[in-house]
Structure 1
Amino acid sequence: MPFAIALAVLVIELSPAHFIYTGPFLTAVPALAAVTMGPKGTTSAAALALAISVATATYNQAWGNLQVYTNFLALALVSVAGFITSRAVQTRRQSELDHVRRIAVAAQEVVLRPVPARLGPVRAATLCLAAGTGAQIGGDLYEAVETQYGVRMMVGDVRGKGLSAMRAVAVALGAFREAAHYEDDLVEVMNHCAAALRREVAVPGAYSQEVLMEGFTTALMAQVPDEQVAQLVNRGHPPPLLLHQGRAQALMPSLPLPPLGLEDLFNGLPAKPESYPFVPGDRLLLYTDGVTEARNRDNDFFALPETMEGIRASTTPSEFLKELHQALISHTEGHLADDVAMILVDRIDEDFGKRIGAAATPSRDRPH
């Protein structure tokens, strides 16, 4: 609107209708810009209004007219006041946004709890990065727990953002944390999460109409028992990557399955999880699509398998994810388009685990 007004004034002053008094119109340009465009926009609008005023006064040979100088003075006063106002509005808005963002982050941290560095036969680490979306809460979720059936992990991605997505995250994680400890079948744990989400959607007012129409959750569950295997149930989620002897391999499901919430579109869900070898020295990465769909300025996707293969095998899980994080930020130049969540586990050999346990146990033959 400010620039449209400036253009209209310019057209009037350069046409036979230049007898129309346009001074108040130019004064409104920086005033309107101050409301919507911030300090930089206000300065640009004021500079444009001043340039048009000088150009039209010259074109119409109006220099020496007291009205021209009055217009300049009014334009200068409104521009200064508009700049000060826009700075105050911007500061207030930023303060409010920071406050809401802190609340959102705190709420997300309550739901997404830290994962222990050691879980049974594996070492673990997690990474969660929020995209630059203001105060929006993301829909990525992760969890890893040690149960009597082995280490069970879940990574998922709820479609959408905001409180509705965070509510779905809390529901899915709550169902997983409960069912993971008493269901001996990993498929049944996944079914519990799907049922919990269906019940939540059925609650009147729980979700917006958009979420009801389009909402679904991709989910991947993994189980690492004492045997040297990894068992997976994948419901429409990006396949995990297994790093074995320096080579990264995607563990693709033999039968693609629908995300949670879209079960009606598919007949015959699997009765048991799929198993893959997972031996000491191997690393398993569960992640959300914010990793593989991250793009650089040339619109190239992030090469996750190649990046994993380039990281030293001697790194700990937390160091491994730290290097992945640095590579991802370097690829996107710090501009993530979507949230990122990752869980990395590596299986340790039994001898290493015994040495760690012995080192942690005080000896009776030496002071402690």
Structure 2
Amino acid sequence: MRALYRSLSRPGAGRHHALFLLAQCVPFVIALIVLGIELSPAHVVYTGPLLVATPALAAVTMGPRGTLAAALCAAVVSVITATHNHAWGGQQVYTNFLALVLVSTASVMTSRTVRTRRRYELNQVRRIAAAAQEVLLRPVPDRLGPVRAASMYLAAETGAQIGGDLYEAVETRYGVRMIVGDVRGKGLPAVRSAAVVLGAFREAVHYEDDLVEVINHCAAALERDAVAASAEDAPGLLEGFVTALVVQVPDGPTVEVVNRGHPPPLLLRNGEVHALHPAVPLPPLGLEEFLDGASAGPDSYTFERGDRLLLHTDGVIEARDGENVFFALPEAMSELRDCTRQEFLEGLHEGLMRHTHGRLADDVAVIVVDRADDGGGGDPAV
């Protein structure tokens, strides 16, 4: 779902990238214009200041190497035009060269300083993002009551570590409870919504015995945050909703699922993959007006020793290759049936990267769960 909204926003991003590339070409275009003027009958026009400005313009959009390249280009043009017009020996030529050297030196130094500062700021942001990820998206513990689990998160944005996908797994007195969700939208509003839902889930799982009430608690928290966002004059947060899936694994050989508009989990049993579709489809969190009085309870499915359960966001199943073919998750899950959980996640990661040629269109959150009624021993036989 979020992949659709991201694809709709790509034209604007493409235009900005094209404008940035055009700005990088401006210094070299100016040098070519000066060269054309000086080699034409219009060479009486004074073009020296234009060449002197080229390294300064390059420093705005390029690094030290690009700025130095623009300065060398301007110097070559100056030599060519001075030789063609027999201007060597004149005071103006040497003045222009001196000005070009001074401006080029200052521009290269400035570009290097700016790049160093930007790199430092980027590293700071990455460290903050890493710390936020440890709080917001904590790794799932290997052992949780009757199950063994593992998680994976892949951010689609380059350099990003957190986004609008969310997951959590907690051992409670009611059994192991897990959530996987996907916030509509992206950027900081999506991260904020994900934090709100996760905070509500982590609180409700320990005192709400009804799984439906757990997800209702998340929906109420999201609604309160929308009201707060409206008071803060941040309407962008009011437009979002969250697809979510809440799962409970008790001690018995069953699993309970409440699905609010999210892709159904997949169950691997004896080499065959089954999608656990809800009996009554429900709208995502934040769209409670479309419930129409529906109050379905949790859907219950058999989950026995040796079974594997996969909770995922739509970033997996909506991943496309160059021919717009979707990633075949059930087939990939079946092929990796004999792998351990970590090997399964590594294989899934490699398969996604291979299918999309390393360009994910949406964030990916995955929890893989093995039923392990083995008294705390090793991995169950899958």
1:208 has 2:230 as partner: no
CA contact (8 A) 2:133 2:161 kept: no
2:119 maps to 94
**1:120 alignment counterpart:** 145
- Contact in 2 for aligned 1:164/1:208 (Cα 8 Å): no
For residues 356 and 106 of structure 2, the distance between their equivalents in structure 1, rounded to whole angstroms, comes to 39
TM-score, reference length from structure 2: 0.80
Q: CA RMSD in A?
A: 2.9
The Cα shift of 1:48 comes to: 4.1
From 348, 365, 368, the counterpart of 1:324: 348
What is the Cα deviation at residue 334 of structure 1? 4.4
For residues 274-327 of structure 1, give each alpha carbon's deviation from its aligned partner in whole angstroms, at most 9, with x where no partner exists. 2333222111111122333334566554332222222142x3323322332233
CA distance, structure 2, for counterparts of residue 302 and residue 55 of structure 1: 57
Q: Per the alignment, in what secondary structure is the counterpart of residue 275 of structure 1?
A: strand
Cα gap change, 1:18 to 1:209, in 2 (>3 Å): farther
Distance 1:146 1:29 in 2: 63
Aligned counterparts, 1:53-72, within 5 A:
53-54=78-79, 56-57=81-82, 61-62=85-86, 64=88, 66=90, 67-72=92-97
- Per the TM alignment, residue 54 of structure 1 is displaced from its structure 2 partner at its CA by 4.9
Question: Which ranges of structure 2 fall in alignment gaps of 5 or more residues?
Answer: 1-22
C-alpha distance in 2 between matches for 1:109 and 1:354: 26
Given residue 347 of structure 2, which amino acid in structure 1 is its aligned partner? E
**2 CA distance for matches of 1:281 and 1:264?**
40
1:218 partner amino acid: T
Deviation of residue 197 (structure 1)? 0.7
Query: Is contact 1:200–1:206 with CA below 8 Å preserved after alignment?
Result: no
1:158–1:165 Cα contact (<8 Å) kept = yes
The offset of 1:94, in angstroms, is 1.0
Higher mean alpha-carbon deviation, 296-305 vs 88-97, is at 296-305
Aligned match for 1:244, one of 269, 288, 293 = 269
Q: In structure 2, how many angstroms separate the alpha carbons of the residues matched to 1:168 and 1:120?
A: 29
Q: Quote the Cα distance in structure 2 between the aligned partners of 1:50 and 1:300.
A: 51
2:61 to 26, 36, 61: 36
Rate the CA distance shift 1:9–1:262 in 2: closer, same or farther, 3 A: farther
Please list the CA deviations of residues 113-147 of structure 1 after superposition, one character each: whole Å capped at 9, or x if unmatched.
Answer: 33221222211111123334446741221111223
Instruction: Say if 1:203 and 1:45 are closer, same or farther in 2 by CA, change over 3 A.
Output: same
For 2:254 and 2:233, the matched residues in 1 are separated by 39
Task: Check whether the contact 2:182–2:313 (CA below 8 A) recurs between aligned residues.
Answer: yes
1:80 to 1:125, Cα distance in 2 relative to 1, 3 A: same
Structure 2 residue identity aligned to 1:318: Q
Cα drift, residue 78 of structure 1: 2.9
Mean Cα deviation higher: 198-207 or 27-36: 198-207
- Distance in structure 1 (CA, Å) of the matches to 2:200 and 2:50: 62
Deviation at 1:203, TM superposition (A): 1.4
Task: State the alpha-carbon separation in 2 of the partners of residues 299 and 37 from structure 1.
Answer: 35
| SS of residue paired to 2:205 | helix
Q: Deviations over 1:42-63 (max 9, x none)?
A: 24433443454455456x5345
Q: Relative to structure 1, is the Cα distance of residues 265 and 52 closer, same or farther in structure 2, using a 3 angstrom cutoff? A: farther
Correspondence for 1:360: none
Q: Secondary structure at the match of 2:193?
A: helix
* Identical-pair percentage: 64
Whole-Å separation in 2 of the counterparts to 1:99 and 1:220? 34
Paired with 1:294 and 1:56, the residues of 2 have a C-alpha distance of: 55
Instruction: State the alpha-carbon separation in 2 of the partners of residues 280 and 76 from structure 1.
Output: 75
**Are the equivalent residues in 1 in contact too, given 2:266–2:311 (CA < 8 A)?**
yes
